[in-house]
Structure 1
């Protein structure tokens, strides 16, 4: 008479074990320590970020470790779920490839510092970011609502945010020989792409941006503070709104020592931005300008 009950208990245990294994697989199933060791030893040049692991709640440590590994190419694979991360620091002499359909998404409740950006490239050379059909996405609405809550002294589960316009999707400072290809950059708390000098005034130089879409960013689609030899082509800058100037592109040096030379936009579109499609403000600049 107790057999049906026993059968149900056994079945429950089996199902629970399977479900537990599936949950664990969310963080460990993709890891490949043997391949990681080959990357670290220099015997292999191309790495998948998932070899270090994947956690659907926060994959920062895995993605950052892959980037820091010294691999010549790091692939962020499409695992059918977003790569949720805190701020990521990029490295030079590397190609970062986001597979089609990949979304690298800013973790909600993070990016508290006013200048926290999703991807930052600072004072490095020889970087390619290739992401046709892939997206860098932040949490613009959270930052805007969080600012209101901060000023009102209220709170919500994702918390308060101090007002800022510098949470960029991609920040490039003092870098040379950089390519950004095919990406969509959306919902930032600042600019889709920001380009400026780096440490000790190091000029950003030889930057190419092709086939990108900057959509629904807070301040600008792209801001150019200082650069020498910038080519932007076949790209779209649209739906910018949140804080002035809310332009598709804003070329606006901060100081008289900034450099704005060899800037070319070719076959680009500027659509439905709250401010200007193209804004140029050179009042702070004393040197030669070439746009």
Structure 2
């Protein structure tokens, strides 16, 4: 587990897994009356004597159902799929029942995506439940790769995912990246996500425009850096981060960060505009509630334009080594960063005076403003 034992307070069951957290935000259960009448049962594509305990690989059967139909209902039991994952087509709607589960078969791949929403438009997914292979690797001692994703969204448009639950992935719970058509994700909504015990990040946002994430609950992210609940980190200058809006994120017990923003890879010799807004963030007992990483300054690099805004952030820690936020030097090329109405509660005296005048003045010198 994480070297920093003080940061983590996990409950562990017999197989070394972490118990599913109680939901902080209420969500609706599967309701058949809300399902499109044309929706097709995946059961119709399974063999006659199918397994209901998630021990038989039905990847090919499920993919065939997804290819032939645009409205699909998953059965009320776990289904085993392999590391080829499942690809979703444009104009699809998927419904998961209360006990539905996509369970990844043991893999040794360092990179996979269980549910792939890549280069498509107009998709809705209700209540997906996904479990990675973190404790079912062929070689449990191997640390190869960090890109095993529960849900990947790449170069897709008009996507809404309601109440996803993703756990035990080798990399990230949900990943926003660039696909083969080299365009950012656009108009993506993730509502009421519950993500826990994923190895690298809960959510990674590499590129996107008009991304709305509401009430994500992300806990116990640990295993390989950065170990963040939410990591906003472009890979290259052509990635977009415009109108990234995250409201009411609840992050807890993450070995790295509640929220991490690292923009160094976006810098080049052209102007780029970003806009990130995070409202009502609450972090409990992560090592750092928030980190905005500094950048490496080089001659002639253009400063990023736009803004990064945090409004009504709340940081709680029971540990001496837990800190509300981490700011590194070298912010001269970043846009203005504003923290409005920050609340810090800590059971130790270590950060009682964290927002003293000296720190506030130091931050202002680097375009970081803390507003009461």
Q: How far apart in 1 are the matches of 2:112 and 2:173?
A: 13
Specify which of 103, 113, 124 is matched with residue 128 of structure 1: 124
Aligned to 1:254: 235
Local SS of the residue matching 2:110 = coil
Q: Are residues 1:62 and 2:47 paired?
A: no
Q: How far apart in 2 are the matches of 1:201 and 1:60?
A: 28
Q: Are residues 1:142 and 2:142 paired?
A: no
- Aligned-pair distance for 1:202? 1.6
- Aligned-pair distance for 1:92? 1.3
Specify which of 95, 109, 113 is matched with residue 113 of structure 1: 109
Local SS of the residue matching 1:169 = strand
Aligned to 2:357: none
Question: What is the root-mean-square deviation in Å for CA atoms of aligned residues?
Answer: 1.6
Bigger CA radius of gyration: 1
Q: Are residues 1:288 and 2:273 paired?
A: yes
Aligned to 1:40: none
Specify every segment of 5 or more residues in structure 2 that has no aligned partner in the other structure, as ranges: 1-36, 277-372
Q: How far apart in 2 are the matches of 1:200 and 1:102?
A: 32
Q: How far apart in 1 are the matches of 2:70 and 2:133?
A: 30
Local SS of the residue matching 1:177 = strand
Q: How far apart in 2 are the matches of 1:208 and 1:63?
A: 25
Contact 1:50 1:62 in 2 (8 A): no
Specify every segment of 5 or more residues in structure 1 that has no aligned partner in the other structure, as ranges: 1-43, 151-161
Structure with greater helix percent: 1
1:84-123 pair list within 5 angstroms: 84-86=80-82, 87-108=85-106, 110=107, 112-123=108-119
- Aligned-pair distance for 1:147? 5.6
Q: How far apart in 2 are the matches of 1:176 and 1:200?
A: 12
Q: How far apart in 1 are the matches of 2:99 and 2:241?
A: 35
Q: Are residues 1:200 and 2:181 paired?
A: yes
Aligned to 1:230: 211
Give me the TM-score of the superposition, normalised by structure 2: 0.59
Q: How far apart in 1 are the matches of 2:80 and 2:229?
A: 27
- Aligned-pair distance for 1:226? 0.3
Structure with greater strand percent: 2
Q: How far apart in 2 are the matches of 1:97 and 1:238?
A: 25
- The number of equivalent residue pairs is 228
Q: How far apart in 2 are the matches of 1:245 and 1:116?
A: 19
- Aligned-pair distance for 1:113? 3.1
Q: Are residues 1:52 and 2:45 paired?
A: yes
Aligned to 1:177: 158
Deviates more, 1:51-60 or 1:96-105: 51-60
Specify which of 256, 259, 264 is matched with residue 245 of structure 2: 264
